[in-house]
Structure 1
Amino acid sequence: MSERYQVPPGVEIATQWAWRLLVIGAAGLAGIWLLRYFSEISVPIAVALLGTALTVDAVNWLQARGLPRLLSTFIVVIFMLVAFFGMLALVGQQLSTQATELRGNVVDGITQVQDWAETGPLDLSDSQIKDWVDSAKDSIASSDTTLLSRAGAVGTTVTHVVAGFFIALFASFFFLYDGNRIWSWVVALFPRAARDQVDSSGHTAWISLTAFVRATVLVAFTDAVGIAVGAWLLGVPLTFAIGVLVFLGAFIPIIGALLSGMVAVLVALVAQGPWTALFMLIIVVAVQQVESHVLQPFLMGRLVRVHPLAIILAIGAGVTVAGIVGALIAVPLAACLNGVVRHLVSSAREYQDEPEPDTPFEPPEPLGR
């Protein structure tokens, strides 16, 4: 008997793909929602993983020299804290000593802009400029409530940052000290048949993450030194602060160091004028070209092979989900996923290509009489 309703094969295949994609999308959205809901925990844990990938070899090196694992971990964590707070102290000291000079340059720059607005192609009158300044003052004066609410939001954010800092600190310590046991416990949560694949995929992801973080640190350091030295040669103030900003911004590939380098151009424009800003822009672009065409291919190599389009899409998705922190974490996550997918595909291909074991020929049983 023929079927009453016949579904074309193309529609059947499309519906099968559709409901599977819907389930995958729903699971992805649920995972993103959970990460955002527990962002006060998930973000510090992600930062701790990045720090662990950067410093775990130092702990292993100290342990190989005869120090206990616990003492080696303490030494590395204390060194990280000293480096972090020392960098912040140097930036704060430079800001405090050069802020007065920079403030005067800003005032002079505003005066020059006002003169240009009056005598340049805009041909604005004193009354128009005065009206704009008065409206800006009125806006600032009428936003007391907004400023108070923003101050409260800043206070809440600072509290979250402090809490996240200590979570990341303690997580980094235990990842460095007892990371193998923690990973073994995670693998044991999976079904027994999948544990080998989970364990090998995790090690592949860790290798990709370690290579990515170390290469990114070297690239960021090179960007920071190049742009900071260029700013120092041009006489731009706040050179160390600019270098630190470029170093942190370079952890967002492709766009991070460029955007932070634009801050150096703006400081040069305010402090030294347009010609110095132009030379500063040339230095920033030159450093970026060296990074893109020499450092990135040489340091990343084939181990962390992520297409630039995938990096841009990952950064956009990270910004959409979690802002600046999402942009910071998105690219290492994409590198890990890329390594895991390549590993699983390679494992599946090897399994398919593996020849079946030869079985000896057995003659058939003789027929009974």
Structure 2
Amino acid sequence: MAASWSWRLLLIAAAVAGCLWLLAALKTIVVPVAIALLLTILLAPARRTLQRWHLSKGLATAVSVVGLIVLVSGLVTLAGTSIVAGFQDLADQAVAGFEQFTTWLAEGPLGLDAAQLSQFADQIQGSVVESSGLVTGALGAATTIGHVLVGALIALFCTIFFLLDGRTIWTWLVNLLPVAAREPVHQAGRRGLVTLSAYVRTQILVAFVDAVGIGVGSAFFVPALALPIGILVFIGSFVPIIGAIVTGAVAVAVVLVANGWVAALIMLGIVLLVQQAESHILQPFLMGHAVSLHPVAVVLVVAAGSLAAGIIGALFAVPLAAVLNTILLYFHGHDKFPELGTEDHLPLLRKRSQLPGTLLWSGRGSSQDDTQDDQTGATDAAPASPASDAGQAGEHR
């Protein structure tokens, strides 16, 4: 029995390693597609709202995408000068704050050895350099302007077509599977998408609350750096646990240099208050049962993701783990979203000679499904009667 489990585990490990290698080789494509999926989840409610205002699906998609681009460009342009100038001061003061803290550890009541502290600081600096190397390795070709532009174009292109024709693409993918596997995969995919939507929207709201709370708190001590600190906290909050700790430490270090120990302790209290309120009130209230991952699992997943793919792995590790958790629970009979039901079916192929690819390019089943999606806000194909499904399955057999 041990031998049988061993070769199965080795085979699974080899398959996972092969998938990770393939993702690393295609990172210039995989990362933009993943970003496009997240943007699609964010823009889908706006697109459906515009369609309720009697706009066509194509026009609603275009307005949603252009609106997002204009909004981001406007915010960057509005805060660009202060951010560029502020981040340099922020970096300088953060370094000075950490140096002052290490000096206090050596000369203060703790009396730690200065040589050990210096060695520890060198190790941290080396870890940062190695982390930047991991980031470079994860981003790969995206380190050049050309690849960044290519990735942006891929993300924009995929976002448009995911919004415009996502249901048909999903139908085509599911119909590539054997008939018996299509319905379970479709139902599991629906639940995985709900989990991903809950995670993304909640994480954005939580990051915004953290950024506003810590940014407003820092404005009382370093008004010129409040905006860069808030932006840094907002970005860092997307890396669970680790991002909040690092960005909060940076804010405290900056206040320490600018205003001394008393102000730094007050700032530390503000950071702890905001993060505790976020982790004990916002996260449980907003996430609910949508993303049921234990904090230990979150820490281990983030660590594994950062080791495998640097900052990109840390960003996508938790949502990927949450989606896989929901899908695996569904396959094992533990449905986290019983309210979704199973009445929403995908159309089965009617003839063995009909290739799965024709379903995507012919547009068959897409217009009616899209209309129903616009009316109900669902994320899946239109319902079909069980009798019709049974007849189609029998004809296929």
TM-score, normalised to structure 2's length? 0.70
Deviations 1:6-43 (A, max 9, x none): xxxxxxx1111111111111111100100011000001
Contact 1:237–1:271 at 8 Å: present in 2 too?
no
After superposition, the Cα gap between the structure-2 partners of 1:157 and 1:91, relative to the gap in structure 1 and judged at 3 Å, is farther
Q: Does 1:281 align with 2:268?
A: yes
1:106–1:271 contact (8 Å) kept in structure 2: no
Report the CA distance between 1:251 and its aligned residue. 1.3
What are the residue-to-residue correspondences of 1:130-169 with 2, within 5 Å?
156-169=143-156
For each residue in 1:155-198, what CA deviation from the matched residue of structure 2 results, as whole angstroms up to 9, or x when unmatched? 94444333222211211111111110111111122112211111
Counterpart of 1:318 in 2: which secondary structure? helix
Moved over 4 A (4+): 96-113, 119-122
Offset from partner CA, 1:226-261 (integer Å, 9 cap, x none): 011111123343211211111111112222222122
Q: Does 1:240 pair with 2:215?
A: no
Over residues 324-368 of structure 1, what are the superposed CA-to-partner deviations in whole Å (9 max), with x where a residue is unaligned?
0111101000110111111111279x9xxxxxxxxxxxxxxxxxx
SS at match of 1:238: helix
CA pair 329-109 structure 1, distance change in 2 beyond 3 A: closer
Task: Check whether the contact 1:236–1:272 (CA below 8 A) recurs between aligned residues.
Answer: no
Q: Which residue of 1 aligns with 2:33?
A: 45
- Answer with 267-276 or 206-215: which moved more: 267-276
Contact 1:219 1:295 in 2 (8 A): yes
Between the aligned partners of 1:23 and 1:269, the Cα distance in structure 2 is 53
Correspondence 1:226 to 2:241:
no
**Displacement of 1:314 after TM fit?**
1.1
Aligned to 1:305, the other structure's residue is in SS state coil
How far apart in 1 are the matches of 2:96 and 2:15?
56
Contact conserved, 1:258 with 1:288, CA < 8 A, in 2? no
Report the Cα distance in structure 2 between the residues aligned to 1:108 and 1:311, rounded to whole angstroms. Answer: 32
Q: Which moved more, 1:206-215 or 1:47-56?
A: 47-56
Which one has the largest radius of gyration? 1
Are 2:61 and 1:68 aligned? no
Q: 1:91 to 1:324 in 2, by over 3 A?
A: farther
Provide the residue aligned with 2:3 in structure 1. Answer: 15
**How far does the alpha carbon of each residue in 1:267-325 deviate from its partner, in whole angstroms, 9 at most, with x for none?**
22233333322222211111110011101100010122111111111111111111101
Offset at residue 266 of structure 1 (A): 2.4
Give the aligned partner of residue 354 of structure 1. none
Report 1:203-352 matches (<5 A): 203-346=190-333
Which residue of 2 is the match for residue 85 of structure 1?
A: 73
Q: CA–CA distance in 1 between the matches of 2:286 and 2:334?
A: 26
Q: Is the 8 A contact 1:229 1:239 kept in 2?
A: yes
2:162 corresponding residue in structure 1: 175
Distance 1:18 1:108 in 2: 52
- Report if aligned partners of 1:211, 1:304 keep a CA contact under 8 Å in 2: yes
Count of paired positions:
309
User: Which of 159, 171, 192 is the equivalent residue of 1:184?
Assistant: 171
Q: AA paired with 2:72? A: F
Q: 1:36 aligns with which of 24, 30, 36?
A: 24
Distance (whole Å) between structure 1 residues aligned to residue 302 and residue 175 of structure 2: 32
Q: Which residue of 2 aligns with 1:200?
A: 187
Q: Deviations over 1:89-114 (max 9, x none)?
A: 3442213565797799799989999x
2-structure distance, mates of 1:175, 1:154: 25
CA distance in 2, matches of 1:104, 1:255: 22
Q: Could you tell me which amino acid in structure 1 is paired with residue 77 of structure 2?
A: A
Classify 1:169/1:293 alpha carbon distance in 2 versus 1 (closer, same or farther; 3 Å): same
Query: Partner amino acid for 2:21?
Result: W
Corresponding letter in the other structure for 1:93:
T
Which residue type is aligned with residue 173 of structure 2? V
Identical counterparts, % of pairs: 46
Letter in 2 for 1:162: L
Partner Cα distance (1:204, 1:278) in 2 = 44
Which blocks of at least 5 consecutive residues in structure 2 are unaligned?
A: 112-117, 119-135, 339-397
Residue type at the aligned position of 1:175 = F
Does the 8 Å contact 2:94/2:254 carry over to 1? no
TM-score w.r.t. length of structure 1: 0.75
SS at match of 1:346: coil
CA distance in structure 2 between the partners assigned to 1:74 and 1:50 by the alignment = 17
**Mean Cα displacement is larger for which, 96-105 or 337-346?**
96-105
